[in-house]
A and B are shown apart, each in its own frame.
Chain A
Amino acid sequence: MEICSEEAVKYVWEGAIPLQIHLHESEVTTLPPPAPVLVLGYRIGYLPLLIPQIKPHFDSTLPPGVDTVWFDYKGVPLKWYIPTGVLFDLLCPEPERPWNLTVHFRGYPGELLTPCDGEEAVKWSFINSLKEAAYIINGNCKSIMNMSQADQYELWQSVLNGTLENYSRVVPRLKLGVLREDCKMRSISRSQQVTGETNDSLPNQTGRIPVRLYIRNVEDIDDLEGIGALDSWEKISYINRPVENHDEGGLFTLRRAMESLLPELFGPSSPSPGNQRRKTKLDAAAGEPPEAAQQETHTAQVARIRLIRVQGIVPGWDTPFAWVVNNLSHPDFFLHVCVLVSASQGSH
């Protein structure tokens, strides 16, 4: 099976969320109030990067003062450093199209949001994530620290504009490679190999895989549509821990990877990796809950996974984890995973 799929990566980079941006009523000083503006937000992009497209629509109606831009969804301020696609997957279990957001140009909630002065702050945050990913993969950030100005510029521009071709040109110089199927080693991908090079693996690898989990506690009801909107970020748990494959043989699947980070959600009698049910296509249908959560377990399970989303997709549990990592990671080399969890009903 092709562990690196150009088609899948292209699909991810082209993914975008239709947004309908409303100006907060407290900042409307003209009658009639301005109409909301429709903008396409790249999944791999960030909300503050859309401000140049949004601001002109509201400029003439803003009250006097200095702009400090922020967004909210149903009253909850949105964390600007989280990619747009991740925010959408996390906050809209039942996708809302277009996604209605409110923009503010005043009254930045400094207690809840870290400062953001626009593109520079987002770029800095992105580069720091990339450094962290490099550290996790190679044990040091050298390849990122040593990037030339030109490369840094090209890298950031490719993320800003969503241009995969440009990104793909710079990526080999980051020396982060692609994950092999065993999820223990990385290698320079076939298309990046230097002619004549016999050893295609990268030195100094740690075997660790950068992953960010966003876990949201939701009500234990069957219908996703019935899940209420998030009212506070305190309901979201954030786990920033690398995944490592310690299995001896057998396919390292998405399930095995998640189990290594959140063992209690899978119970003591989870199916062995030998349960073969491979998927070779993206499973875009509503996700199947893991079998483990529905099995009778000997000890009571405190919670179960309702839904897991990566780049808007619900991957099958038996998808090879290397495929998920190589094709669904964010440009910062982190795999961002949204998990909806419910406390289980009754006890076993």
Chain B
Amino acid sequence: MAGPHKWDGTISGLDFCEAARTFSQRWKEVNPTLTHWVWIPRPMISGSAIGEGVGYLSLENMCHQRSTEDLVVSECCTADEEQSVDCATLAQNDNRGIHFYDYHILYNFSYNVPVLYFRGYQYDGQPLPLERVKEDFPPHSSSILKESRWTFLTTEDHPFLRRPWHMLHPCGTRDWMKLLFSSSHLSKSEAVRQYLPSWLSVVGQVVGFNLPLAIHEGLSSSPVTNWMQPS
């Protein structure tokens, strides 16, 4: 990434690994009690050590509970037994409304951008089809998708897990990331640090994944705080 005026909105594979490390660390600092983003290393050839450094970010068991009026993301639920007590309490009140979500952030070598893969489950572990998942999205999600045409939802094989996962197609990401960063004047290292929080703020709006605003604070002139309204 030469300078902001030459940057095309993409990020290299190596920079993605660096950005992932920074992001998961920052997330932990800002949300010490929440589920953490974890880096999952995956060798290029399973069962070998070939292609070290390759992997993806994972955040699992994020709890979505439908309240009567609005979609509320309960951040209490983790796979950790200690904290699952909160979920159990919620469950007693309204078992049917609880869905769990797993989010993975992978790097795409064709489009040179990150991609969000996600899966939803019922309380009993049954996976949710895409149509049902869409019902959990925030109300403005479908209008974002229609308006900007920068991405679409699809179900494809997870490149590492080789099973169907839902994803937001990456073909438009480069263009809107370029736009997002266009008014910032960041050094390369700063841009790499801010890439994932900025990217996830936008992508999160579609799937109802909320980033705490604090994740952008302390970062000099974050493209997101410059550009977008806090939701």
Contact = CB atoms under 8 A, between A and B. Distances in A.
Interface of A: 79, 81, 110-115, 131-132, 135-136, 141, 210, 215, 217, 233-242, 262, 264-265, 302-303, 341, 343
B36 to A, nearest CB: 26
B68 interface: no
A320 to B, nearest CB: 24
B110 interface: yes
Contacts of A234: 46, 162
Contacts, number: 70
Contact of B163 (A111, A136, A262): A111
Given A81-B157, A135-B111, 20 more contacts: A79-B157, A112-B163, A131-B171, A132-B111, A135-B171, A141-B171, A215-B45, A217-B47, A233-B162, A234-B46, A234-B162, A237-B44, A240-B109, A242-B109, A262-B44, A262-B51, A265-B50, A302-B48, A302-B50, A341-B45
A115 B110 contact: no
B129 to A, nearest CB: 8
A235 B46 contact: yes
Contact of A110 (B157, B159, B164): B164
B162 A114 contact: no
B110 A237 contact: no
B45 A237 contact: yes
B156 interface: yes
> How large, as a class, is the contact surface on chain B?
20 to 34
In the A-B complex, the 4 residue pairs with the smallest Cβ-Cβ separation, listed nearest first, are A241-B109, A114-B164, A233-B162, A264-B50
Given A135-B171, A303-B48, A242 B110 contact: yes
Given A131-B171, A136-B110, A240-B110, A113 B46 contact: no
A21 to B, nearest CB: 24
A141 B110 CA distance: 12
A264 B110 contact: no
18 contacts: A111-B163, A111-B164, A112-B163, A114-B156, A114-B164, A135-B171, A141-B171, A210-B110, A217-B45, A217-B46, A233-B163, A234-B162, A238-B157, A240-B110, A262-B50, A262-B51, A303-B50, A341-B45
Interface in B73-123: 109-111
B162 A239 contact: no
B127 interface: yes
A168 B155 CA distance: 31
Nearest to B47: A217
A240 B159 contact: yes
B169 to A, nearest CB: 8
Contact of B48 (A79, A113, A239, A343): A343
B102 to A, nearest CB: 14
A238 B162 contact: yes
Given A132-B110, A265-B50, A239 B171 contact: no
A47 to B, nearest CB: 15
A111 B126 CA distance: 10
B174 to A, nearest CB: 9
Contacts of B171: 131-132, 135, 141
A149 B111 CA distance: 26
A238 B161 CA distance: 10
